[in-house]
Amino acid sequence: MSDQENRLIRCFESVFPGLSAEEIRGTGAQSEGIWDSLAAVTLAAVIQEEFNLDIDPEILPELNSFEAFRSYLTRMIPETVNGNS
């Protein structure tokens, strides 16, 4: 698992504290009772702060799962060979 993915999991853990890393990887807007608008706003704020990013509000609605965030980060912050961004 890359350092970037680890950090992303920690961000998710802070917003969804009851979930395991495995459950977090499967989390998304379809996860009933978990992914509400407050969680989405908080998660975006945590990730922007953690990765020093400014997420374009236009694409925010598309970032509706762990996988969507992971691939967004991969595009925005390509990891270096040793695994650090």
Partner 1 sequence: MKLIEALKLARRPVPETARETKIFLACGFTPLHLQAFLTAEMRVRMPEYRITINTGLFGDLCGNIERIDPNGIDFLAVVVEWGDFDPRLALRTLGGWRPSQMGDILESATRTAARLKSGLTAASHSVPTIVCMPTLPLPPMFSCSPAQAGAAETQLRHIAASLALSLSQESGIRVVNGQALDEVSPLNGRYDLKSDVLTGFPYTLPHASAIGEALSTLIQNRPPKKGLITDLDDTLWSGILGEVGVERISWHLDAHTQMHGLYQQFLASLSGVGVLIGVASKNDSAVVEQAFTRKDLLLSKDDVFPIEVHWSRKSESVERILKAWNIGADSVIFIDDSPMEVAEVKTAFPEMECLAFPKNDYDEFWKLLRHLREVFGKSMLTADDAIRLRSIRDASAWRDASQSRKNSHDDFLKAAEACVFFESAQPDGDARAFELLNKTNQFNLNGKRFSESEWRSFVKDPAAFVLTVSYKDKFGLLGKIAVILGRTSGRVAHVSGWVMSCRAFSRRIEHQCLKYLFETLEADEITLDYQLTPRNGPLQEFLTELLGETPGETVRLSKEQFASKLPPLFHRLEGIVHV
Q: For binding to partner 1 (CB under 8 A), which residues are involved?
A: 10-11, 14-15, 17, 38, 41-42, 45-46, 49-50, 54, 57
CB of 78 vs partner 1, minimal distance in Å: 23
**Identity of the residue, 42 or 65, whose beta carbon is nearer to partner 1 in the bound complex:** 42
Sign of CA dihedral 62, 55, 52, 82: positive
Token pair belonging to 33: 């009772």
**Identity of the residue, 58 or 81, whose beta carbon is nearer to partner 1 in the bound complex:** 58
C-alpha to C-alpha distance for 47 and 59, rounded to whole angstroms: 14
**Identity of the residue, 31 or 43, whose beta carbon is nearer to partner 1 in the bound complex:** 43
CB of 60 vs partner 1, minimal distance in Å: 8
C-alpha to C-alpha distance for 67 and 48, rounded to whole angstroms: 16
CB of 66 vs partner 1, minimal distance in Å: 16
Name the residue among 50, 56, 42, 16 with its Cα closest to residue 24. 16
Residue pointed to by tokens 């691939």: 71
